[in-house]
């Protein structure tokens, strides 16, 4: 199928953008059976769906002459889950409908609401926005949907996941009953089906998601590592690929903060995106990625929604996604618009079977590979360095004069070696990882065993996770109460209602006596000897290599109300 049946202004705009033929989702919405009907479209992120629903709306927006239908009230409304995606949609529709005379208004959080209201008051044919801001304009009377002919819900599953159901319902309830409703969603969970049943009539179901869920432009890989080597594996993957832009996904904002700081410390040009960042900070981070001042973005799932980075070629799942849909949305940040991308899952070896089951259920073909070694990275560095230095470059007379001075002072071999050294010095160093064999893992665990803790005594505290027990305040408490240093506290195991910890047997009696002297009555935390770790406890490492905590917990005080 070609674009020849479309109005001439759109054919010209597509040709100028280099569109020779439609993508599968674009071809599907232009089929005769889809014209004028409500649509439920399942398409992968990056499959050209923005242009697809732009083309699908031509019958509602354009007259017989190919120009926009004159009106002051919006004819089309596009609702997107995030500010970034809404702005991206607005940019796409601007070039697609530019020659038709269409006016496009964008209404998103973080922008000047008064300016948006003035823009709506002047008249707009197409309105693009996020649910919260659109609902605000609707309730203030600035957004009139009485003449609406088409409504598009882009990434509808994401909007429901983000809690926008009430906003969507209020907006759609304010539109005419005979409007077209185009619902675009990568997945079709039950809430989406219910939404479609309520707001669509005889909708045509279109799916361009093939049997292989990980679409052909993304190569999926999985790396099995020791849980303690996850961060080292991230370093080595970044160094091996040297991607123009890479995105790293973590589960929490605390872990984003910790990994971002670690990468910056090692010399990576990295930015962070999470719920704790303001809109201005998000804008600055995205701009740094677009103009190449940064090459790595560490983000949470929610913070990364709607982000479109054309140079993104590598996605690393630092922490495993909760399900196949999340994996799909994360990975869909790369492999867009026909470009190739790579998505790598870092799998702690105890969780490999769970991940394999998830991938089988999602019909995603993945290649299991070994984590890159320093030698693998050095080999890739050598090839990249030779290719970079052999590329033709433009030089001026000053460059040649300086080169002649260098040749007079040193041999060509010495100059080339110095150049290689300078290139290598700018690269972060790779990390040594535990080999992916049971024998190597056991040997590494023995090697990492802390000296002085071969013979220990277990103690317990009558607080646990339900009382916000956290090593960051437990450790100082033990040092203060027991008159010891943090290096004299071994493993810490936090259970639901109690915590166990190790003290070397040589100082256990001294510790217990100090604890008894420093007790402050019935309201204080009780510390006493124990027979071993508590049931349901989670291991916590003490010392400089302990991972960053996953949450900010305040100490529990006896007598305080429990949450």
Report the range of poorest mean pLDDT among 108-112, 153-157, 178-182, 538-542. 538-542
Examine the domain organization and report whether 472 and 492 are in the same domain.
yes
- Is 383 found in the same domain as 308? no
pLDDT at residue number 299: 92
Q: Is residue 363 located within the same domain as residue 307?
A: yes
Per-residue pLDDT, 389? 80
- Helical packing angle, 505-518 and 471-482, nearest 10°: 90
Q: Given pLDDT bands bounded at 50, 70 and 90, which one contains residue 17?
A: confident
**Has residue 443 been placed in a domain?**
no
Q: Of all helices (H) and strands (E), which one includes residue 224? A: strand 218-225
Residue 173 lies in a domain: yes
Same domain (yes/no): 203, 268:
no
Q: For 267-411, where are the alpha helices, taking DSSP H only? A: 279-290, 301-304, 324-331, 352-362, 374-390, 397-409
- The whole-chain average pLDDT of the chain stands at 84
pLDDT average, residue stretch 351-364 = 88
Comparing 3-12, 207-216, 366-375, 499-508, which segment has the lowest mean pLDDT?
A: 207-216
Question: Structural domain tally of the chain?
Answer: 4
Residue written as tokens 């409703």? 181
Q: How far apart are CA 107 and CA 131, in angstroms?
A: 9
Q: CA angle, corner 77, sides to 76 and 78, nearest 5? A: 125
153 part of a folded domain: yes
User: Does one domain contain both 303 and 341?
Assistant: yes
pLDDT at residue 544 in the model:
38
Q: Please report which helix (H) or strand (E) contains residue 477, including its range.
A: helix 471-482
440 lies in a domain? no
Among 58-67, 171-180, 334-343, 398-407, where is mean pLDDT lowest? 334-343
pLDDT in tens, 162-176: 788 999 999 999 999
pLDDT value at position 549? 40
Average pLDDT value for residue range 386-391: 83
Read off the pLDDT band of 223 (50, 70, 90).
very high
- Does residue 449 surpass a pLDDT of 60? no
Q: Are residues 365 and 402 in the same domain?
A: no
**27 and 82 fall within a common domain:** yes
pLDDT score, position 119:
93
Q: Are 313 and 339 in contact (CB under 8 A)?
A: yes
pLDDT mean over 537-546: 48
Q: What is the pTM of this model?
A: 0.58
- In terms of domains, do 172 and 31 share one? yes
Q: Between these two residues, 283 and 134, which has the higher pLDDT value?
A: 134
Give pLDDT tens digits for 474-532: 888 999 899 998 888 988 888 878 898 999 988 999 999 999 888 876 457 889 988 76
What would the mean pLDDT of 87-95 be, rounded to a whole number? 92
> How does DSSP assign 60-118, residue by residue?
HHB-TTSSBPP-SS-SEEEE-SSHHHHHHHHHHHHHHSGGGT--EEEE-TTS-HHHHHH
Tell me: do 247 and 331 sit in the same domain: yes
533: confidence class by pLDDT, cuts 50, 70, 90: low
d(CA 330, CA 334) in angstroms, rounded, equals: 8
Residues 177 and 162 both lie in one domain: yes
Q: What's the confidence (pLDDT) of residue 142?
A: 95
**The pLDDT of residue 213:** 43
Closest to 301 measured CA to CA, from 88, 157, 131, 107: 157
Summarize the confidence of residues 383-405 as an average pLDDT. 86
Question: Is 395 among the domain residues?
Answer: yes
Domain residues for 201?
Answer: 8-207
* pLDDT score at 451: 64
Taking residues 120-135, report their average pLDDT: 94
On the question of pLDDT at 111 being above 70, the answer is yes
Residue 78: C-alpha distances to residues 89, 106, 428 (Å)? 8, 10, 44
Q: Is 80 inside any structural domain?
A: yes
Q: Is residue 257 part of a domain?
A: yes
Please indicate whether residue 485 or residue 339 has the higher confidence score (pLDDT): 485
Residue 497 or residue 295, greater confidence: 295
pLDDT over threshold 90, residue 393: no
Residue 134 lies in a domain: yes
Query: Which CATH number goes with the domain that contains 320?
Result: 3.40.50.300
185-202: pLDDT as tens digits = 877 778 888 999 999 998
* Residue 93 and residue 145 in one domain: yes
What is the pairing mode between strands 499-504 and 456-461? antiparallel
Q: How would residue 256 be classed by pLDDT, with cut points 50, 70 and 90?
A: very high
Task: Tell me the pairing of strands 218-225 and 341-348.
Answer: parallel
Tell me, yes or no, whether 273 and 172 share the same domain.
Answer: no
pLDDT (0 to 100) of residue 337: 60
Residue 471, domain CATH:
3.30.70.2280
pLDDT surpasses 90 at 272: yes
């Amino acid at each position: 199928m070609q674009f020849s049946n479309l109005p001439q202004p759109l054919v010209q705009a597509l040709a100028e953008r280099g569109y020779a033929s439609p993508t599968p989702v674009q071809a599907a919405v232009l089929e005769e059976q889809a014209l004028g009907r409500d649509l439920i479209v399942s398409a992968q992120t990056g499959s050209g769906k923005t242009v697809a629903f732009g083309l699908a709306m031509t019958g509602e927006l354009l007259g017989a002459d190919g120009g926009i239908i004159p009106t002051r009230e919006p004819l089309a409304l596009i609702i997107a889950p995030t500010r970034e995606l809404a702005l991206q949609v607005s940019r796409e529709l601007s070039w697609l409908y530019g020659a038709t005379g269409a006016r496009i208004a964008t209404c998103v959080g973080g922008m000047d609401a008064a300016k948006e209201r003035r823009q709506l008051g002047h008249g707009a044919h197409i309105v693009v926005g996020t649910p919260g801001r659109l609902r605000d304009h609707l309730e203030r009377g600035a957004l009139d949907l009485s003449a609406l002919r088409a409504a598009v819900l882009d990434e509808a599953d994401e909007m429901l996941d983000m809690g926008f159901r009430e906003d969507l319902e209020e907006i759609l309830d304010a539109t005419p009953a005979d409007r077209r409703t185009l619902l675009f969603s990568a997945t079709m969970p039950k809430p989406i089906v219910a939404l479609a049943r309520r707001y669509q009539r005889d909708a045509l179901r279109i799916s361009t998601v093939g049997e292989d869920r990980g679409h052909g432009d993304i190569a999926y890989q999985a790396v099995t590592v020791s849980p303690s080597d996850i961060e080292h594996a991230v370093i080595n993957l970044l160094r091996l690929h040297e991607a123009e832009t890479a995105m790293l996904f973590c589960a929490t904002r605390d872990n984003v903060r910790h990994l971002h700081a670690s990468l910056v410390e090692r010399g990576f040009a990295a930015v962070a995106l999470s719920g704790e960042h303001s809109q201005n900070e998000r804008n600055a981070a995205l701009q740094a990625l677009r103009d190449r001042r940064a090459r790595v973005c560490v983000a949470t799932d929610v913070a990364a929604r709607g982000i479109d980075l054309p140079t993104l070629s590598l996605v690393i799942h630092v922490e495993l996604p909760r399900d196949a849909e999340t994996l799909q949305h994360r990975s869909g940040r790369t492999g867009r618009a026909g470009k190739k991308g790579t998505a790598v899952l870092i799998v702690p070896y105890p969780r490999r079977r769970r991940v394999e089951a998830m991938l089988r259920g999602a019909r995603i073909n993945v290649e299991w590979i070994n984590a890159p070694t320093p030698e693998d990275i050095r080999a890739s560095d050598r090839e990249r360095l030779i290719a970079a230095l052999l590329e033709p470059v433009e030089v001026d007379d000053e460059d040649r004069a300086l080169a002649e001075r260098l040749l007079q002072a040193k041999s060509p071999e010495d100059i080339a070696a110095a150049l290689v050294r300078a290139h290598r010095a700018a690269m972060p160093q790779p990390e040594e990882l535990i080999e992916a064999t049971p024998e190597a893992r056991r040997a590494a665990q023995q090697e990492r065993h802390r000296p002085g803790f071969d013979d220990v005594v277990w103690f317990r505290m009558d607080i646990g996770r339900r009382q916000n027990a956290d090593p960051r305040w437990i450790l100082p408490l033990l040092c203060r109460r027991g008159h010891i240093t943090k290096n004299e506290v071994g493993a810490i195991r936090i259970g639901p209602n109690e915590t166990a910890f190790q003290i070397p047997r040589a100082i256990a009696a001294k510790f217990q006596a100090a604890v008894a002297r420093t007790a402050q009555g019935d309201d204080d935390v009780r510390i006493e000897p124990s027979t071993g770790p508590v049931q349901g406890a989670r291991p916590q490492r003490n010392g400089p290599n302990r991972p960053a905590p996953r949450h900010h917990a305040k100490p529990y005080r006896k007598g305080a109300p429990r949450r």
